[in-house]
Chain A
Amino acid sequence: MNSRLGKIWLTAGYLFLYVPILTLIIFSFNESKMVTLWGGFSFKWYGVIIHDSEVVNGFFLSMKIALMTATASVVLGMFAAFAMVRYKSFFGRTTFFAHINAPLVVPEVITGLSLLLFFVMCERLIGMPERGIFTIWIGHTTFGLSYAAVVIQSRLLEMDKSLEEAAMDLGCKPFQVFYLVTLPMIAQSLMAAWLLTFTISLDDVVTTAFLSGPGSSTLPLVILSRARLGLDPTVNAIATITVAVVSVGVVAGSLWMSRQERRRAAEQAEAYREGMQAISA
């Protein structure tokens, strides 16, 4: 279709996606406390946040929970993906699929509320667990598991099953097959699942709000409480740092991936060419 219209549409679309982020960044360098009026350039708010113990503690808590969540989600998600792909019949398989998909569609207010009420009940019955890092971790892992399972499952589905058979044929016992062949084959998807669940956990507010206890305010909870009250330049500074870190990571990651892909394609083409030459020779 019309390529001019296309360019306009794409430009407008990307402006829509990026202008809000850009204004966030610009006003993080604002001298004035008035977030929307320019009062001169300054790094003032960055200084403020690194001495703001609420922010710093929140950041480290969030990182810790995200690390724990991503790791647990990838392990459990890998199990779940294997169960879905490799075991074509077991008791309650349909329900199993429902359990994997449900956390992806049920609103977080519901997962958060139900887990909280569950933990409260547990606490009354057995005196455990206290609300805090552990309960948040469990909460994040319920949906992290599902995301990880979906990512890993799609990789397992496309993997050539004869690779595993070949390994066994060459003398691998079942567990050796897993760590010598299957694991390297799905490693990239494990990494992707890890990063995905890490960011989801790092970003989560709603479930966290339900499950956090006294003294366990993650960074998003700190941001939410400040954002509720109105505009706050420290939030802009936090946003800028986040955007910077993420952009560098994502851009570097995708550049690396596309380089790998290009190199691979070139090598394949080269091998094919050599092969054709060998035939005609």
Chain B
Amino acid sequence: MSIASSIGNYGIVQFLKRNWGRRSVIGIPYGFLILFFSVPFLVVLKISVSSTDALGIHFQDLTSYANGIFELKIKLSNYIFLTTDPLYIETYLSSIKFAVINTLICLIIGYPFAYFMARSPATMRPALLMMVSLPFWTSYLLRVYAWKGLLDDNGVINNVLIWLHIIHDPIKMMYTGFSMTIGMVYTYIPFMILPVYATLVKMDLRLLEAAKDLGATPWKAFWLVTVPLSKNGIVAGSMLVFIPSVGEYVIPELLGGPSTLMIGRVLWDEFFSNNDWAMASAVAVSMVVLILIPLAIFNKFQSDSGGARGL
């Protein structure tokens, strides 16, 4: 019960006044998001199925009414092209592949990291935590750029290895799947560590003692007690990593190469390089669908387990 509604009505004047306040508290942000988030998306939806005029510049109305005939014209060629052209299909699959790989690596490195953080002395934890979140506050673009300097053919890593006479010719790392993955892991790993840490640090350590008391080896206790109890953190972290990685643009642009197809970059190129607004819109619509599916699975998973909120 809110205060405002539980107080009820003292008279029509106050009632209107309060209703006015309530209306603006809800209406202003709601209106803002509808106007600048939903409506624009509807525009995208419309453009993705609109045909252009003869010059190919102006989009025509979807509906027309003339001589008593109501016409609805929907151009599906963009979507047909999207679902039949091997390049797009490959790009979708490749985006998902990189997002999954990124999520798994973040989990494999991040989970033990969060675990050791949570088990370190309580006095050290705030500092450790701050050091994980510090990069988050610095520019993400610059952090991605940093890897360019490290992985380049003339980059720091190659130079050091050559200087140590471990290799003679530089290893090709830049503009490959490797460089892009490393950039993604580097960018997104705090989003895995933080939620997992949050669940692990809250865990009751006596549960582990109880498990050991019942004869579990430390390793078994870890798998049977710690990991299941941190499930919510794992799920939340995985979602926080997976969802933005699917649509990533900056990392593939700076660190990826011709072989690392990512859907976000394709959309960008359709729009900025090819100037094909309708195609870019169709890609955008299908990307939303692509994101909604894992999200729906996530929500189902959450409501099944009654778990913590992910976002």
| Chain A residues close to B by CB (< 8 Å) | 1, 5-7, 9-10, 13-14, 16-21, 23-24, 27, 34-37, 76-77, 79-80, 82-83, 86-88, 90, 92, 96, 99-111, 113-115, 117-118, 121, 138-139, 141-142, 145, 149-150, 161, 164-165, 168, 174, 177, 199, 202-203, 205-206, 210, 220, 223-224, 227-228, 230-231, 235-236, 238-239, 242-243, 246-247, 249-251, 254, 258
Q: Say whether A20 contacts B138, CB under 8 Å.
A: no
A203 CB contacts on chain B under 8 angstroms = 139-141
CA of A251 to CA of B112 in the docked complex: distance in angstroms? 25
Interface-lining segment among B21-29, B72-80, B81-89: B21-29
The answer to whether residues A79 and B142 also contact, given A6-B120, A109-B284, A113-B280 and a CB cut-off of 8 A, is no
Q: Say whether A205 contacts B244, CB under 8 Å.
A: no
Q: Say whether B128 contacts A10, CB under 8 Å.
A: yes
Q: Say whether A87 contacts B247, CB under 8 Å.
A: no
Q: Say whether A106 contacts B288, CB under 8 Å.
A: yes
B30 part of interface (Cβ distance < 8 Å)? yes
Q: Say whether B156 contacts A223, CB under 8 Å.
A: no
The answer to whether residues A23 and B150 also contact, given A99-B30, A109-B284 and a CB cut-off of 8 A, is yes
A250 CB contacts on chain B under 8 angstroms = 130, 133-134, 137
B143 CB contacts on chain A under 8 angstroms = 20-21
Q: Say whether B5 contacts A17, CB under 8 Å.
A: no
Q: Say whether B311 contacts A9, CB under 8 Å.
A: no
CA of A13 to CA of B277 in the docked complex: distance in angstroms? 43
The answer to whether residues A96 and B30 also contact, given A24-B146, A79-B25, A109-B247 and a CB cut-off of 8 A, is yes
B148 CB contacts on chain A under 8 angstroms = 227, 230-231
A19 CB contacts on chain B under 8 angstroms = 150
CA of A208 to CA of B140 in the docked complex: distance in angstroms? 14
CA of A82 to CA of B311 in the docked complex: distance in angstroms? 18
Query: Which residues of B92-124 are within 8 A (CB) of A?
Result: 109, 112-113, 115-117, 119-120
* Interface size, chain B (Cβ < 8 Å): 87
CA of A99 to CA of B146 in the docked complex: distance in angstroms? 35
Q: Which of A5, A87, A206 contacts B22 (CB 8 A)?
A: A87
CA of A255 to CA of B295 in the docked complex: distance in angstroms? 37
The minimal Cβ–Cβ distance linking B56 to chain A, given in whole angstroms, is 15
Q: Say whether B142 contacts A117, CB under 8 Å.
A: no
* Most-contacted residue by chain B among A87, A103, A150 (CB, 10 A): A87
Q: Say whether A235 contacts B145, CB under 8 Å.
A: yes
B287 part of interface (Cβ distance < 8 Å)? yes
| Chain B residues close to A by CB (< 8 Å) | 1-5, 18, 21-22, 24-26, 28-30, 32-34, 36-41, 43-44, 47, 109, 112-113, 115-117, 119-120, 126, 128, 130-135, 137-150, 152, 154-156, 159, 186, 189, 218, 222, 243-244, 246-250, 253-254, 264, 267-268, 271, 277, 280-281, 284, 287-288, 291, 295, 311
* Most-contacted residue by chain B among A114, A164, A247 (CB, 10 A): A114
Q: Say whether B253 contacts A228, CB under 8 Å.
A: yes
The minimal Cβ–Cβ distance linking B116 to chain A, given in whole angstroms, is 4
B22 CB contacts on chain A under 8 angstroms = 87, 90
Q: Which of A96, A230, A238 contacts B26 (CB 8 A)?
A: A96
B5 CB contacts on chain A under 8 angstroms = 87-88
The answer to whether residues A242 and B138 also contact, given A10-B120, A115-B40 and a CB cut-off of 8 A, is yes
* Most-contacted residue by chain A among B21, B246, B281, B284 (CB, 10 A): B284
CA of A81 to CA of B295 in the docked complex: distance in angstroms? 23
Q: Which of A9, A23, A236 contacts B113 (CB 8 A)?
A: A9
Q: Say whether A117 contacts B277, CB under 8 Å.
A: yes
- When C-beta atoms are compared, the residue in chain A nearest to B28 turns out to be A79
Q: Say whether B281 contacts A117, CB under 8 Å.
A: yes
The minimal Cβ–Cβ distance linking B276 to chain A, given in whole angstroms, is 12
A5 CB contacts on chain B under 8 angstroms = 116
CA of A228 to CA of B148 in the docked complex: distance in angstroms? 10
Q: Say whether A16 contacts B186, CB under 8 Å.
A: yes
